[in-house]
Amino acid sequence: MSGTQVKRAFEYRFYPTEEQAAELSRTFGCVRKVYNLALDARTRAWFTEQRRVNYNETSAMLTAWKKSEDLAFLGEVSSVPLQQTLRHLQGAFTAFFDKRAKYPRFKSRKKSRASAEYTRSAFKWRDGQLTLAKMREPLNIVWSRPLPEGAEPSTVTVSRDSADRWFVSILVETSVNHHTPTDQAVGVDAGITSLATLSTGEKITNPKHSDRERARLAKAQRDLGRKEKGSNNRAKARLKVARVQAKIADRRRDHLHKVTTRLVSENQTVVIEDLSVRNMVNNRRLSRAISDASWAEMRSMLEYKCAWYGRDLVVIDRWFPSSKTCSECGKLTESMQLNVREWTCDGCGARHDRDINAAKNILAAGLAVTACGAGVRPQRETSRTGRPATKQELSDVSRMESPRL
């Protein structure tokens, strides 16, 4: 069975000592400061001189900043995370100029995730223990799963989330074996009531993790709103809110991993729609449910898992009328309201479940694309009428009084 060499990150929780927490907090602050300073310098250079500043120039600026009286504290932490954040900024500008991302934004102390990246020269890996630069003791890591045998870390990223949990992400190069080839293929129709409906007729239930914790989260948010800004009690209340939200996110991610791993292991070809989730969440009635379903994260997982394990992921055009087309005879129904969950084809008389029929059509379209060698169909950001791109099934929700999802 063939394998693929991939760079894979393994994330673990760790519990720093007071000294380590203080050192990492200083490093996080310096990383954020350098990023913002470099972004400001590059922005001013462009808008005042129409000049692009590259990584080498910002690296020279960093050396000058360290020598200045106001920014001398930058020299108290490891220089590697500071250089790495300049490289990240360079990557952000490259993506912007290639029109793959928006203009880089400044990092906020409250809203941005605190993190620092260390390359091989800034940490010591010995006997399964990790010691970062400027630290005397190794990190107290909870090894929830072992690293691949013989793997040597190339990059280490330390972070702290809003729930005050510390994580270390260890990047290693390892071999991933392809799954045994199979003739199975599946079409996946993403939904809200059901997280995904498969062309086999199976419906994968949406756990709706946000709903399970909604009362608890609402209470924590009300308590936060009553606390005085800047007080210790407000900080404690904010932490309670963050912990509830972190639990929801962890459960959602765990469920998506199980679903996508199963789809990839059982099928040689997985066919999905090209959904524009960013536009969908603008619908006020469905934004919470769409965010809780995390379709974008599910697609991301399918993409890298298919690449790792030798599977094919086919993405069809979001404007393909999967729900309104009969999977038996191919007749297209002119219009269909969202609350119509079952319907009968006027052409052949076949009775359809809306979602299962859509999944079958998605599979057929994906196999047709693969057979003709066309690859992934082109993506469009707007429809022919100029309206924002969105999932066809959700386009009429705003006009409906009580949609049944």
Give the catalytic positions in this structure.
189, 273, 355
Strand 312-316 relative to strand 269-273: parallel, antiparallel, unpaired? parallel
Rounded CA gap, 269 and 310, in Å?
10
Any long-range contacts for 258-261 (C-beta under 8 Å, 24+ apart)?
Answer: 259/195, 259/196, 259/204, 259/298, 260/298, 260/301, 260/302, 260/305, 261/305
3-class secondary structure, 284 = coil
Mention every residue, 6+ apart, whose C-beta is less than 8 A from residue 205.
194, 195
Rounded CA gap, 8 and 77, in Å?
27
Kindly compute the dihedral angle of the four CA atoms of residues 391, 397, 399, 400, in this order, to the nearest 10 degrees.
Answer: 150
Rounded CA gap, 392 and 404, in Å?
16
Neighbours of 95 (CB within 10 A): 13
Do the beta carbons of residue 371 and residue 194 sit within 8 Å? no
Q: Which of 57, 62, 102 is CA-nearest to residue 49?
A: 57
Q: In 246-276, which positions are buried (b, 16+ CB within 10 angstroms) versus exposed (e)?
A: ebbbeebeebbeebbeebbeebbbbbbbbbb
